[in-house]
């Protein structure tokens, strides 16, 4: 489920990149969920041709995935196949991070690889023929097919580029065992995070890793080009006929950027900087070596722990870096002890060490929310929020329920943070109103209690929605500043130079702030 400001922000991104028509189709899918072609036409009140073309654009840029849903229907046990379209919210957000993705690749690869990736980010999906044609346009006629294939091989091996997913995966209805398992979990009050339809479709559309990162490409340019046009025609015909189960005559190889790997790299980078800020450079060097050593085995974003590593394996990786060459074996051991103490960044078991990604991300999330509470509400609110975050919940007596706030209610909290009871009461009420605290009234016999607590799941969701709101406002302001600059450029140079320079500085500052805000969004949404 996507928050309201998250939907508005995603629609703004699509509007900015593809125009109002495509954005209207995207907004319909964001607000109503997966829909058939006929229902999209009905809800958007657009013509079938406009909807088909908009869907083709969104599919081309990996923002929508088509899938076939099996439903009971017809005679006997016959299943009815229905083609639907689901929007990929995460991929829409990734469009803001293309500059970050390119910066990561520039650290390890040369300009031709960077240009190839830039083409994939710009056009969404490309065949080998299209990559070759684009390279000849940008770099000249000296570019050969083998050079393009070699660059593609490098990026695919590093998992920065992958084959495109299955065009229309078949999604089976949940089995009786799955339904029974969910009912048992509900009865036993076990909290199970339900898999969303978007996640199910994405999982079904991914081929196996062997095929997904297979670098075997067709060297025959003419064949590749022919099958490409056949594939593009079939994709349009599929929309034309609503993909009623038609078979694929020829399958082409299309490539796209693997955003999952880029986000994983950004998460690792954020974790390393978190360690550096909390501990020191030596601990960050050892932690970075652990990330590198476990990188070949740990390839998922939201993994709890990395693969276990021995001290020797960690030391071998440490001395590969320039900073690590100055560290002795005992020095590395001391840093590992530091990393495994409170706050815990590394888990220890049987003389092996593994990175506790879950705990690191949670610590960073706590710091981010506490920082905002401190800046927005002041130190008293910061102390209250931090106290309730750590202690879970506090119960206070309430003798006069007709009074909105009483001194007895906040006695324990005020004593714990050493502030006046009236100030604590006002701040508790303010945080509760703004959604950062939860309050429950409890009755035990003749005594009534108020329970104050921080529900992190709800607070984090509220905080993420606020960040989407802030990102939307910043993005709209950046667009406004760009329009202002374009108008000033039409004026004479001498009369507007000072104002033009000021607008450029303002725009750069806002774009930088938007990128920093996106870092915080990734911390709560992607990591």
126's tokens: 């490309």
Beta bridge partners, 161, equal 257
Please indicate, yes or no, whether residues 161 and 202 belong to a single structural domain of this protein.
yes
CA distance 318 to 291: 10
Q: Give the helix ranges, DSSP H, for 434-492.
A: 456-489
CATH of the domain at 281: 1.10.10.10
Please indicate, yes or no, whether residues 286 and 236 belong to a single structural domain of this protein.
no
Residue finishing a domain among 415, 434, 454: 454
CA distance 314 to 354: 10
89's tokens: 């919210």
Residue 321 is predicted with a pLDDT of 87
Prior bond of 343 cis (ω within 30°): yes
Of the CA atoms within 13 Å of residue 380, those in its CB half-sphere come to: 18
Residue 223 is predicted with a pLDDT of 39
Number of structural domains (the chain) is 5
Q: Domain limits at 413?
A: 362-454
The larger pLDDT score, comparing residue 425 to residue 298, is at: 425
Please indicate, yes or no, whether residues 161 and 211 belong to a single structural domain of this protein.
yes
Q: Which residues contact 338 (CB under 8 A, 6 or more apart)?
A: 279, 283
Beta bridge partners, 353, equal 309, 348
Residue 4 is predicted with a pLDDT of 93
For 36-95, the pLDDT digits (tens) are 999 999 999 999 999 999 999 999 999 999 999 887 765 656 777 889 999 999 999 999
CA distance 515 to 286: 28
Distances 276 to 314, 330, 364 between C-alpha atoms, Å: 18, 20, 12
Q: Calculate helix-pair angle for 281-294, 311-318, nearest 10 degrees.
A: 110
Kindly report the average pLDDT of the chain as a whole number. Answer: 81
User: Does the pLDDT value for residue 276 go beyond 80?
Assistant: yes
The overall longest dimension of the chain from CA atoms, in Å, is 88
For 14-29, the pLDDT digits (tens) are 999 999 999 999 999 9
Give pairs for 11-18: CB < 8 Å, separation 24+. 12/472, 12/475, 12/476, 13/92, 13/93, 13/95, 13/96, 13/475, 14/58, 14/63, 14/92, 16/475, 16/479, 17/61, 17/95, 18/57, 18/58, 18/61
CA distance 57 to 42: 19
Residue 8 is predicted with a pLDDT of 96
User: Does the pLDDT value for residue 480 go beyond 90?
Assistant: no
User: Does the pLDDT value for residue 452 go beyond 70?
Assistant: yes
Residue finishing a domain among 74, 89, 104: 89
Highest-confidence range of 67-81, 247-261, 501-515, by mean pLDDT? 501-515
| Cβ count within 10 A of residue 131 | 22
For 336-392, the pLDDT digits (tens) are 999 988 778 999 888 899 999 999 999 999 999 999 999 999 998 898 888 888 766
CA distance 41 to 221: 38
Please indicate, yes or no, whether residues 241 and 277 belong to a single structural domain of this protein.
no
Please indicate, yes or no, whether residues 73 and 52 belong to a single structural domain of this protein.
yes
Residue finishing a domain among 395, 420, 454: 454
Please indicate, yes or no, whether residues 101 and 237 belong to a single structural domain of this protein.
yes
Highest-confidence range of 205-219, 305-319, 378-392, by mean pLDDT? 305-319
Provide the whole-model pTM.
0.83
DSSP state of 273: H
């Amino acid at each position: 489920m996507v928050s309201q400001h998250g939907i508005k922000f995603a629609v703004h991104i699509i509007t900015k990149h593809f125009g109002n028509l495509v954005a209207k189709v995207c907004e319909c899918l964001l607000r109503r969920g997966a829909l058939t072609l006929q229902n999209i036409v009905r809800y958007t009140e657009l013509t079938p041709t406009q909807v088909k073309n908009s869907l083709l654009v969104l599919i081309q840029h990996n923002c929508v995935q088509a899938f076939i849903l099996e439903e009971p229907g017809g005679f006997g046990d016959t299943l009815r196949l229905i083609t639907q379209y689901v929007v990929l919210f995460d991929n829409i957000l990734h469009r803001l991070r293309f500059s970050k993705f390119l910066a990561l690749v520039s650290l390890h690869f040369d300009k031709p690889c960077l240009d190839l990736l830039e083409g994939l980010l710009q056009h969404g999906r490309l065949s080998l023929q299209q990559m070759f044609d684009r390279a000849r346009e940008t770099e000249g006629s000296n570019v050969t097919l083998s050079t393009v294939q070699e660059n593609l091989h490098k990026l695919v091996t590093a998992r920065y580029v992958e084959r495109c997913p299955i065009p229309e995966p078949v999604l089976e209805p949940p089995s009786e065992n799955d339904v029974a398992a969910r009912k048992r979990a509900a009865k036993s009050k076990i909290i199970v995070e339900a898999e969303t339809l978007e996640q199910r479709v994405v999982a079904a559309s991914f081929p196996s890793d062997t095929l997904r990162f297979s670098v075997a490409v067709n060297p025959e340019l003419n064949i590749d080009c022919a099958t490409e046009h056949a594939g593009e025609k079939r994709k349009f015909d599929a929309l034309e006929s609503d993909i009623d189960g038609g078979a694929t005559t020829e399958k082409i190889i299309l490539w796209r950027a693997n955003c999952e790997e880029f986000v994983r790299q950004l998460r690792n980078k954020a974790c390393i900087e978190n360690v550096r800020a909390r501990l020191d450079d030596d601990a960050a060097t050892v932690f970075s070596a652990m990330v590198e050593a476990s990188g070949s085995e740990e390839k998922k974003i939201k993994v709890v722990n990395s693969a276990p590593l021995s001290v020797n394996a960690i030391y071998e990786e440490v001395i590969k870096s320039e900073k690590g060459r100055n560290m002795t074996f005992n020095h590395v051991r001391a840093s590992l002890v530091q990393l495994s103490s409170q706050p815990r960044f590394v888990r220890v078991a049987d003389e092996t060490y593994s990175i506790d990604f879950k705990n690191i991300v949670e610590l960073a999330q706590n710091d981010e929310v506490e920082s905002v509470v401190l800046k927005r509400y002041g130190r008293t609110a910061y102390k209250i929020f931090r106290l309730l975050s750590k202690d879970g919940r506090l119960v206070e007596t309430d003798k006069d329920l007709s009074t909105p706030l009483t001194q007895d209610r906040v006695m324990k909290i005020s004593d714990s943070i050493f502030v006046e009871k009236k100030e604590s009461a006002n701040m508790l009420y303010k945080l509760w109103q703004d959604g950062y605290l939860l309050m429950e009234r409890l009755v035990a016999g003749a005594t009534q209690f108020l329970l104050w607590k921080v529900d992190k799941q709800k607070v984090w969701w509220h905080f993420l929605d606020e960040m989407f709101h802030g990102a939307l406002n910043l993005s709209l302001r950046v667009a406004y500043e760009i329009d202002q600059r374009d108008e000033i450029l039409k004026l004479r140079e001498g009369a507007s130079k000072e104002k033009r320079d000021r607008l450029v500085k303002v725009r750069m500052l806002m774009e930088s702030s938007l990128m920093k805000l996106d870092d915080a969004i990734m911390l709560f949404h992607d990591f």
